[in-house]
Amino acid sequence: MSVRVGKADRAPAFPGAAKRLMGNTQLRQNVRRATDTIRGKRAKVVAEMADWEELRDAAHEIKEHTLRHLDFYLEQFETNCAGAGGQVHWARDADEANGIVIGLLRERGQTEVVKVKTMTSDETQLNVALQAAGITPHETDLADMIVQLGEDQPSHIVAPALHRNRAEIRQIFLKKMKLGELGDRPEDLAAAARTYLREKFLRVQAGFSGANFAIAETGSICVVESEGNGRMCLTLPEILITMLGVEKVIPTFNDLEVFLQLLPRSATGERMNPYNSIWTGVAPGDGPREFHVVLLDNNRTGVLADPEARATLDCIRCGACLNACPVYRQTGGHAYGSIYSGPIGAILSPQLQSMEHSRSLPYASSLCGACYEVCPVKIDIPEILIHLRGKLVESGYPPLAERVAMKVAAVALSDGDRLSAAQKLARLCQWPFEHEGQLRNLPGILGGWTAFRDLAAIPKESFRDWWSARTGGKDA
């Protein structure tokens, strides 16, 4: 079994990638403007809900309950979906999932497929596999289309093209849609996408989607969207394939009443997103005649096995933690090197890859807790970040120099005399770098701090020396 999360196994470590992206002022401005907008909208519509905390509590409990009984609910979903005319497939990893999708399309002679936005298929790199198999995928979500046409990577789990502004998007559309002219108002860009995709919606006979929720009790799937491209892909083709992670199942239809209140307000700051589609197997006379579901593990069961981190699987992919994160807001999503970026990506990406890749991500946080505050299902992301850092230390992750420095610090700080000796030594060594009481341009790994901010110099007299002189050596 090979677990793959997009191209995260080949991505550079976070600090280097972040530093490079921080130099891109246009990108930083785009990310800052977009996240400011969405944070404002979210705060307004969350404030309208007197029972927001009660909804969060219920969502958390439902998710925890579901994970405890995940085997039961998955089998129940399969039975009910099959009862309604759907067919359920199980995939251990990305390659197996992609293989199932390609097999289904090939057997039916399909050479094109219209796709609804899904992070899960980005995780399995389905588009790459489809193209290799001679099948053309058409992304139909506006942002995914911008990413696909721009040969780019998604930078946000809800708005994958959040790092692009309207002028950049216009350039991509002009080039790839072979348009003579095009305005740069968002309305013009949306209209261009409508015209470009309408022909494909009416012609292509295979649709592909992810799922926001799979309902065990009824065997139904729920897809949450805005543009109507989802409804097009779910309704007009003859064959529909839906791929979802095993953690997306919820027990009952009524549980939707919790998640459909939390998700839109958290994700896009809307009281309700423009469209939700819920369907159950195959509906006679309405929509696809054939429906397949691919249930993907891709090491979600590995995450489930860690009691301190399994709440990672509660995530409903709203993106609120990205928008709230002071680190994400500076670097944007690409620095994380994974399709799952921001705080949730920092815990999900390394775990899905058995902590073998994306190992710098649990450190890509100041542990400020903003992510936990806004999480609609109350995932304690800072706690999980600390837990994962612990796991990484045990596996020898941080570079040798950092580990040696920490050991030395532990020795120095554990004894008053040793601390005093260390301070004397530091006072001697700091003079070449001191300027008006601040240290600048420190050498070696210490330079990582002073490259971006000053550090107060160690004063001539320590508090202990001062106290000792004042009391004549006696304790007060």
Partner 1 sequence: MSDAKIEILEKIRRAVPPRPADRAVEYAGIARRYRQSGTLDRAACLDLLEERLHDYGAGVYRASRADLPAAIDRAAAARNKARLLIPGALPSEWPVGRTSRSAFFVMSEWLPDSVEFLPAESATYDDMDRAEGALTGCAAAIATTGTIVLRHSAAEGRRALTLVPDYHLCIVFANQIVETVPEALRLMHAAGAQLLTTIAGPSATADIEMTRIQGVHGPRTLDVILVV
| Footprint on residues 153-172 left by partner 1 (CB under 8 A) | 159, 161-162, 165-166, 169
Cβ within 8 Å of residue 153, ≥6 positions away: 6, 7, 147, 334, 339
Please say which residue, 325 or 457, places its beta carbon nearer to partner 1.
325
Minimum Å gap between C-beta 273 and partner 1 is 7
Give, for 239, the enclosing helix (H) or strand (E): strand 239-245
* CB neighbour class for 303 (10 Å; exposed up to 12, middle 13-18, buried from 19): buried
Size of the residue set binding partner 1 (CB under 8 A): 96
Minimum Å gap between C-beta 290 and partner 1 is 16
Taking CB under 8 A as the criterion, the residue among 5, 135, 138, 201 binding partner 1 is 201
Q: Are 91 and 301 in contact (CB under 8 A)?
A: no
The Cα–Cα gap between 426 and 422 comes to 6
Q: Look at the block and give the residue holding tokens 């860690």.
A: 306
Q: Does 457 bind partner 1 (CB under 8 A)?
A: no
Q: Look at the block and give the residue holding tokens 């100041």.
A: 366
* CB neighbour class for 28 (10 Å; exposed up to 12, middle 13-18, buried from 19): middle
Q: Look at the block and give the residue holding tokens 């995709």.
A: 197
The Cα–Cα gap between 356 and 12 comes to 13
Minimum Å gap between C-beta 202 and partner 1 is 6
Q: Does 103 bind partner 1 (CB under 8 A)?
A: no
Cβ within 8 Å of residue 432, ≥6 positions away: none
Minimum Å gap between C-beta 340 and partner 1 is 19
The Cα–Cα gap between 193 and 444 comes to 51
The Cα–Cα gap between 65 and 54 comes to 16
Q: Does 96 bind partner 1 (CB under 8 A)?
A: yes
Q: What mask of x and - would describe binding to partner 1 in positions 110 to 149, judged by CB under 8 A? A: ------------------------------xxxx--x---
C-alpha closest to that of 76 among 210, 215, 211, 259:
215
Taking CB under 8 A as the criterion, the residue among 148, 212, 261, 341 binding partner 1 is 261
Minimum Å gap between C-beta 264 and partner 1 is 8
For partner 1, which stretch binds (CB under 8 A), given 103-111, 130-138, 185-193, 443-451? 185-193
DSSP string computed for 274-304: SEEEEEES-BTTBS-SEEEEEEE-TTHHHHH
Minimum Å gap between C-beta 53 and partner 1 is 9
Please say which residue, 274 or 369, places its beta carbon nearer to partner 1.
274
Q: Does 461 bind partner 1 (CB under 8 A)?
A: no
Minimum Å gap between C-beta 367 and partner 1 is 26
The Cα–Cα gap between 179 and 199 comes to 16
Span 392-451, contacts to partner 1 by CB under 8 A: none
Please say which residue, 11 or 59, places its beta carbon nearer to partner 1.
59
Span 285-304, contacts to partner 1 by CB under 8 A: 285-287, 295, 297, 301-302, 304
Please say which residue, 133 or 278, places its beta carbon nearer to partner 1.
278
Query: 3-class DSSP state for residue 395?
Result: coil
Please say which residue, 37 or 471, places its beta carbon nearer to partner 1.
37
Taking CB under 8 A as the criterion, the residue among 87, 111, 205, 273 binding partner 1 is 273
Span 3-22, contacts to partner 1 by CB under 8 A: none
* CB neighbour class for 201 (10 Å; exposed up to 12, middle 13-18, buried from 19): buried
Taking CB under 8 A as the criterion, the residue among 24, 28, 46, 57 binding partner 1 is 57
Q: Are 130 and 318 in contact (CB under 8 A)?
A: no
Span 218-237, contacts to partner 1 by CB under 8 A: 220, 226-229, 231-232, 234-236
For partner 1, which stretch binds (CB under 8 A), given 274-282, 331-339, 354-362, 455-463? 274-282
Q: Does 339 bind partner 1 (CB under 8 A)?
A: no
Beta strand pairing status for 438-439 and 455-456?
antiparallel
Q: Does 187 bind partner 1 (CB under 8 A)?
A: yes
How far from chain centre, in Å, is Cα 317? 7
Span 340-399, contacts to partner 1 by CB under 8 A: none
Q: Does 74 bind partner 1 (CB under 8 A)?
A: yes
Q: Does 312 bind partner 1 (CB under 8 A)?
A: no
Minimum Å gap between C-beta 185 and partner 1 is 9
The CB density around residue 63, as the number of other CB atoms within 10 Å, is 24
